Amino acid sequence: METASAPRQPETPPPSPASTPVPTPGPMPGAVALAAMDSGEIPRRYLGAAAWTGAEMRERDDWIVRLSEADRAELDAAWRATAQLPIESIGPRDFVLPALGPKLHALRDEIIDGRGFVLLRGLDIEGWPIERTARTWWGIGSWFGRAVSQNAMGHVLGHVRDLDYDTRDPNVRTYQTTERQYYHSDSCDIVGLMCLRPARRGGLSSIVSSVTLYNEMARRRPELAAVLSEPVPFDRRGEVPDNEEPFFLNAVFNHHEGMVSSYVSRRYVESSQRHPSAPRLAPLHFEAMDLLDELAEDPDLHLDMEFRPGDIQLLHNHTIFHDRTAFEDWPEPERKRHLLRLWLCPPNGRPLPERYAGRWGSVTIGDRGGIVCPGTKLHAPLTPVQDGAPRTR
């Protein structure tokens, strides 16, 4: 595995932890930041490798990691050795990668404690049956974390593909449409996408550092950054666990243990208002979300990425928001844009505040995230399946 170029020296030290707060002036930065939080104030700025801009990332390509011939040979041997095991049962002890495995763990550290993302390139999946591609991707993913359920059906291997749905339906999840997704986070620590086939036109992946968005918002309109540092309701879109409301509460910016962990999905915040029991949004919430959108849309801040077949993108949901542009697909079913998704729970994730448990089930590191509803049974379908929420069309 080779990085495309030597990593740039960060302008702001240090790369770990991923982001550290710059509080109002004081002798002990961390302590002052927490004290500020207690009095209802918010940190002024976070430093660290996770606070990047798209303009910086376009100047470098060390975030693209290319698999070598030796890496591909290890993956081939591991796939063959596990071909008879149920895919859901395969972990890193089964999917043995003597030299590549430790390198994948280093990438995982970069995702969790550093820049927050990586694009793994060089898997030549041309002509592979879906079984082999899915098993190879699953095996690679297992080195990053345990796969958790992506929907009420318990899918631990997700198919991102247009199923001809309409996102105006409040029970539709946008990944099964051709529409633009808008910047959002998934309900897991790390999300990974492997590209089987790109779209005919469009369908770019766009990512933005939510740490940078926070810094910009706190600089320009601190009162709006403060509004988004308090919980807001998110629609569950019909995927409701036992004894829970049809919405959950979380803040967009969660300041916890010296880090900011972010979570957003504007469509879901807005559609939460269809539930009479959800707290009402105020004009300031909309103003704050407008500014968040405006900042994320800034070409200097976000980074667009084109996927090639075999590319694997891995992201840290706590420090990165992701989006997908609308796309035009090929008419033939066998050529349609198709990505395989994993939601991963690493054993060394960051601490999260308790409020995440409303969506994530728990905040216990190594045992959190995913969507679990009554009757959810984990399985890894090899073809796209409707995700099971009730639909109006």
What are the DSSP calls for 348-361, one per residue? TPPP--GGGHHHHS
| Cα–Cα distance measured from residue 112 to residue 215, given in angstroms and rounded to the nearest whole number | 19
Query: Tokens 């591991």 sit at which residue?
Result: 78
x-marked contacts with Fe ion along 287-306 as a string, rule CB under 5 A: --------------------
CB of 20 to Fe ion, least distance (A): 27
Residue 43: left (phi > 0), alpha (psi -120 to 50), or beta? beta
CB of 263 to Fe ion, least distance (A): 12
x-marked contacts with Fe ion along 178-217 as a string, rule CB under 5 A: --------x-------------------------------
β partners of residue 231: 251
Instruction: Pick out residues in 127-186 that bind Fe ion (CB under 5 A).
Output: 186
Please compute Rg for the chain using Cα positions: 20
289-295, long-range: CB < 8 A, 24+ apart:
289/228, 291/217, 291/220, 291/221, 291/224, 292/183, 292/213, 292/217, 292/228, 292/252, 292/264, 292/266, 293/182, 293/183, 293/266, 295/208, 295/213, 295/216, 295/217
Name the token pair of 135.
Answer: 């098993």
Query: Tokens 């808008």 sit at which residue?
Result: 182
Q: Output 82 or 181, the one with its CB closest to Fe ion.
A: 181
Q: Output 186 or 216, the one with its CB closest to Fe ion.
A: 186
CB of 297 to Fe ion, least distance (A): 17
Query: Tokens 């940190």 sit at which residue?
Result: 43
Q: Output 227 or 315, the one with its CB closest to Fe ion.
A: 315
Q: Output 74 or 311, the one with its CB closest to Fe ion.
A: 311
| Cα–Cα distance measured from residue 116 to residue 102, given in angstroms and rounded to the nearest whole number | 18
CB of 171 to Fe ion, least distance (A): 17
CB of 188 to Fe ion, least distance (A): 10
The length of the chain in residues reads 393
Cβ neighbours of 102 (radius 10 Å): 11
3-state helix vs strand vs coil in the chain, percent to 5: 30, 20, 50
> How many residues contact Fe ion, by CB under 5 A?
1
Q: Output 42 or 196, the one with its CB closest to Fe ion.
A: 196
CB of 241 to Fe ion, least distance (A): 20
CB of 162 to Fe ion, least distance (A): 15
CB of 359 to Fe ion, least distance (A): 14
Measured CA to CA in angstroms, residue 206 lies from 13, 27, 321 at distances of: 26, 39, 8
CB of 371 to Fe ion, least distance (A): 12
CB neighbours of 86 closer than 8 A, spacing ≥ 6? none
| Cα–Cα distance measured from residue 41 to residue 229, given in angstroms and rounded to the nearest whole number | 10
Q: Which residue's beta carbon is nearest to the bound Fe ion? A: 186
Q: Output 47 or 340, the one with its CB closest to Fe ion.
A: 340
Q: Output 186 or 235, the one with its CB closest to Fe ion.
A: 186
Q: Output 95 or 183, the one with its CB closest to Fe ion.
A: 183
Q: Output 186 or 311, the one with its CB closest to Fe ion.
A: 186
CB of 196 to Fe ion, least distance (A): 17
Helical axes 69-81 vs 130-142, angle rounded to 10°: 100
Q: Output 150 or 254, the one with its CB closest to Fe ion.
A: 150
Contact residues: Fe ion, CB under 5 A: 186
